[in-house]
Structure 1
Amino acid sequence: MLKDLLLRLIRLLVGGLFIFSGLIKVNDPVGTAIKLEEYFDVFSYDIAGFFEMFKPWALEIGVVMVVAEVVLGVMLIVGFKLRFTVWALGLMILFFTFLTFYSAYFNKVTDCGCFGDAIKLTPWESFYKDIVLLVMILILFLSRKSLKDNRANWALWTASFSLVFSISVAILAIRNLPFIDFRAYKEGVNIPQAMQPSAPLEYSYVMQKDGKEEIFDQYPSDEAYEFVELKLNNEEALPKISDFAVWNEDGDYTEEILSGQKAVVLATNLAKVTDNSLSKLERLVTGLQNSEIEVILVAASSQPDIDAFLNQHSWDVLGYQADATVLKTIMRSNPGLLLLDEGTVVKKYHFRNTPNPEEVKSILTK
């Protein structure tokens, strides 16, 4: 009786955590794909070059992985095909544990993306979390003969519904934007304010004397102390945004883009921008000419490539450069539209949902 109760509790905990983790990432499959690309880059350089071949398939691999998390979590809780489920979860957690250990030990990918952008864990925190999960799944695996399948029709239908639901949400999120935005650049955020500390940063001085370390609020006047490190006491006050910058060959444009009303076309990869994805944006660019809303293009490309793109499409707008990682964080669409009002993120649009010029004017000038 006690053993059955323990196994049910473990099933609930493990299944619930996999469902939670999977749903967060199903909400943003493109973000998961970006994280997988980071791992493939690292592995192709450190382990074997063949990992490079997986990069073009990162999105598809990511979708399969996050959908599997949700479905297997549901199957574990409802008791559907338990032996298969435990085997699958065991293989999955072994894979995750390897990733998090590699990230932590070699300090390669500093954010595993275990819970997307919703909950940030350090590499070692992610690894310890996976170790706990691994132990619980191991208990289920060793007790798999004691696990009894739920053969009721409702269990089958529940598992089937979770599969259809998670795939549908993933496809909608890819074709549009994440339903819930957990990133630092979500709608309503004022970027200039987010680039500042939320409170004065407080530091402590770690000093050493006679082989013993001591911590001081101010630098000690005693010259016998040897400086060890400067420790930040309130990390939670650090700026939420620290890497936003826009520039061109003439210099930095960050301050200018964060003032006034801007319709910013973002492109993380100009080479992959298709004519089909530009049809609505081109009408928008034309429709906003001679208005008080300034349209600009910001791309993670060289300035000559940006200028060539603007000339090719006859866009009479300014073009600027930005870091690819920053643009991928801001926008999960290539290209995408960002509406700014005095540095505040008013709206973000996938290129499929680009509004018409009158809509943009009504949003930014109301």
Structure 2
Amino acid sequence: MKKIALNFSRIFVGVLFIFSGLIKANDPLGFGYKLQEYFEVFHMPFLSGMATGIAILLCVFEIVLGALLLFGFWSKKVTGGLLAVIIFFTFLTFVSAAFKVVTSCGCFGDAIPLTPWQSFSKDLVLLVLIVYLFIHHDLIKPVTQNPKVQQGLFAFVTLASTLFGIFTYCTLPVLDFLPYKVGANLPELMKIPEGEKGDEYAIMYKMQNKKTGEKKTMSDKDYLKTEIWKDDSWEIVGDPDKVLVKKGYEPKIKDLLIADASGTDYTKELIENPYYNLIIVAYNLKDVNEKAIAELNALALNAAQQFNIRTVLLTSNSASDADLFSKRMKLFAEVFYGDAVPLKSMVRSNPGVLLLKNGVVVNKWHYNTVPSFDKLADQYFSK
């Protein structure tokens, strides 16, 4: 029974760590965004600039530890490392759940979103299994005793996982779990399907009796039903609160709003354009790759002149900053504005490009992989 329990724990923990590391390494920029949230919570904003690099290193660490556990190499050091990692992650997920500071831990990236309490429960189970492995590490047998083979496998897993993280950072995720993936119909993903209900909210009033000083809180429905408003001895104190009563259907895209500098909503016009249109996403103009912007600007000009293709640039910067940037870079593309969160989800690149037609994401590219104008014309525009 001890052998069965040990093998089960070793395989379960090893596979889960490899899976978790690979899923996050598939989208290191997204994992980096999640780390930035934690850095803000723990008042360490100075680490935000290194978030993506730290994200890749953490992914490599998870994958390597998981693989070494399955190989059975250096069992005491590996189980000790796993124990240190899981204690740290358990602490983070508890803080997220108890204090509601980070709504999703990002344990499995965007592939399997977990609530903070679900993440904490998962980590507790892993903690128990890893403690068991650590106590009985001397019973873990390596698949080979040859030191050179052990070192070779260790080097291979480390190198492969590092290169994978760098590759996905310099291109795009191999598997896109975000709502703006290729083939997605954006207008449909923004709707609540027929028959489904959205979130239900109640307006809560703080009431106080002028004569007795008694205080109570009641919903807008109870306020009207009891007709307390007719009683002059009761008054509303402070501003009412909007409270979620019942969680309803949540569209996959719920926070996309594209506006011009004056605040006019252009979301529908832009994403439902029946013709090809290029969307350049540069959520942060201060850190954007300006060489890529210049190349995309030339591409946009050619697309407009030869095929009347509309190109817009989306950013979360202020209108004044964007205007200065546009003049300095002599941008041909129209500039529109959106919140940083959906812009980061559109494409993991700054800048990145989406090709839309009739609300559907036809294709998307990291700035390192954008095809030449001739290739775009041959494959899309001239057809």
Paired residue for 1:90, among 78, 83, 89? 83
Counterpart amino acid of 1:192?
P
Q: Is residue 2:63 matched to residue 1:70?
A: yes
Tell me if structure 1 keeps the 8 A contact 2:79–2:134.
yes
| CA deviation vs aligned residue, 1:207-234 (integer Å, no higher than 9, x gap) | xxxxxxxxxxxx9xxx79xxx97434xx
- Counterpart pick for 1:53 among 37, 42, 46: 46
In 1, Cα distance between equivalents of 2:175 and 2:163: 15
Does residue 240 (structure 1) correspond to residue 252 (structure 2)? The answer is: yes
The question of 1:289 aligning with 2:308 is answered: no
Rounded to whole Å, the distance in 2 between the matches of 1:172 and 1:146 is 37
Aligned-partner SS, 1:9:
helix
**Deviation, structure 1 residue 238:** 2.6
Which of 266, 287, 302 lines up with 1:272 in the alignment? 287
| Cα distance between partner residues in 2 of 1:100 and 1:358 | 49
1:121 maps to what in 2?
Answer: 114
TM-score, normalization: structure 1?
0.87
Q: Secondary structure at the match of 2:335?
A: strand
Encode CA deviations 1:132-160: one digit per residue, 9 max, x unaligned. 00010011112223334442455443333
What is the CA RMSD across the aligned residues, in angstroms? 2.4
- Residues 1-366 of structure 1 aligned to structure 2 (within 5 Å): 2-44=1-43, 51-150=44-143, 151-152=145-146, 154-202=149-197, 230-232=245-247, 237-250=249-262, 251-260=264-273, 261-290=276-305, 291-361=307-377, 362-364=379-381, 366=383
> Is the Cα–Cα contact under 8 Å of residues 102 and 108 in structure 1 kept in the other structure?
yes
CA contact (8 A) 1:198 1:238 kept: no
Structure 1: how far apart are the matches of 2:194 and 2:170?
38
SS at match of 1:101: helix
User: Gaps (5+ residues) in structure 1?
Assistant: 45-50, 207-218
Name the structure 2 match of 1:211: none
User: What CA deviation, in whole Å up to 9, does each residue of 1:279-299 have, x standing for no partner?
Assistant: 431321221123331011111
Identify which range, 307-316 or 92-101, moves more after superposition. Answer: 307-316
Counterpart CA distance in 2 for 1:316 and 1:160 is: 48
Distance (whole Å) between structure 2 residues aligned to residue 295 and residue 101 of structure 1? 45
Q: Distance in 1 between matches of 2:319 and 2:186?
A: 24
Letter matched to residue 270 of structure 2? I
Q: Which amino acid aligns with 1:248?
A: D
Q: Deviations over 1:310-340 (max 9, x none)?
A: 2112223210111111111111111111111
Q: Check the 8 A contact 1:280/1:356 in 2, yes or no.
A: no
Deviations 1:95-145 (A, max 9, x none): 111111111001111010000010011110000000000010011112223
Between the aligned partners of 1:88 and 1:199, the Cα distance in structure 2 is: 50
Contact 2:281–2:353 (8 Å) recurs in 1: yes
- Whether the 8 Å CA contact 1:83–1:147 is kept in 2: the answer is no
Of all paired residues, the percent bearing the same amino acid is 38
Match of 2:234 in 1: none
**Is the 8 Å Cα contact of residues 284 and 355 (structure 1) preserved in structure 2?**
no
DSSP 3-state at the match of 2:368 = helix
